[in-house]
Amino acid sequence: MKNNTIAIVGATGKTGARVLNQLAAQGYVTRGLSRHTEPVFDWANRDSWHSALEGVHSAYVTYYPDLAIPQAESDIRAFVELAKASGLKHIVLLSGRGEEGAQRAEDVIINSGIAWNIVRASWFMQNFSESFMLDGLKAGQLVLPEPKAKEPFIDVDDIADIAVAALTREDLRNQVLEITGPELLSFDHCVQAIAEASKRPIGFQTAPIDAYLAAAKADGLPEDIAWLINELFVNVLDGRNESTTNTIEKVLGRPARSFQHYVETTLPSGVWS
């Protein structure tokens, strides 16, 4: 099985890079795919997909910018059709909890006739260190639309561990693996945990969604990302995901990593300095 090529679509992303590194370290044949690899894989250019998937046995698939967007279902459907024609045998799709658009994309995978897994994850802890919230934390004031609920943030390293297990363990095939961190946390709690650990005063402020997006667009935020932020904060963060799962412990035999562990292990990188 280790001689079969595993493609990682989104190999430079938060989870993709970690999945690629883990598989390579375990001796699997891998093919990292993104807009910056050779061959190129670009979700916005379907002509790039064929050569990228040629000779691939299984694939870990992350969709950019998010499965919640309206275009995602059509793209995933086209990807599945090409995957079947190319002889691909197994797809592991990274999805998000409580997103109606993501659910439609999941259904395409589940009903594809190809062996599948859905890794349905809560919000990433690494959004505080590797994504859109980092600039505010470094500046000493994180401003977000007002969240309506707490979130069981998950460590991306846990997502990668689950994805690698799904790709390499036949006993996990054809399952939805819904994964979360071990506790429900507010954004304010997370910010204060980072402030305390980094010994810096960092404030957290909320703004009405319309005012937040107007300011963000004025600073150059693309329209599709603005749509996504509205979807996440207005709809997905409405309490529907205010629960935890024990999937990580069941699959990996250990608890999910805590937010405190994430902060302690990220702090030495200096990213919040």
What confidence score (pLDDT) does residue 2 get?
82
Distance CA 119, CA 163 (A): 7
DSSP type of residue 132: T
pLDDT at 172: 98
Instruction: Look at the block and give the residue holding tokens 């999941």.
Output: 106
C-alpha count within 13 angstroms, C-beta hemisphere, residue 193: 19
**What residue spans define the domains of the chain?**
6-123+154-181+243-257
If residue 30 lies in a helix (H) or strand (E), which one and from where to where?
strand 30-33
* Per-residue pLDDT at 185: 98
Domain 6-123+154-181+243-257 has CATH 3.40.50.720: yes
177 touches 162 (CB < 8 A): yes
Give the per-residue pLDDT at 235.
87
What are the average pLDDT values for consecutive 10-residue runs of the chain, which has 273 residues? 93 98 98 97 97 98 94 97 98 96 97 98 97 94 94 98 98 98 98 98 96 93 89 91 98 98 98 95
pLDDT at 224: 85
Instruction: State the pLDDT at residue 132.
Output: 84
Nearest to 193 by CA among 206, 183, 179: 183
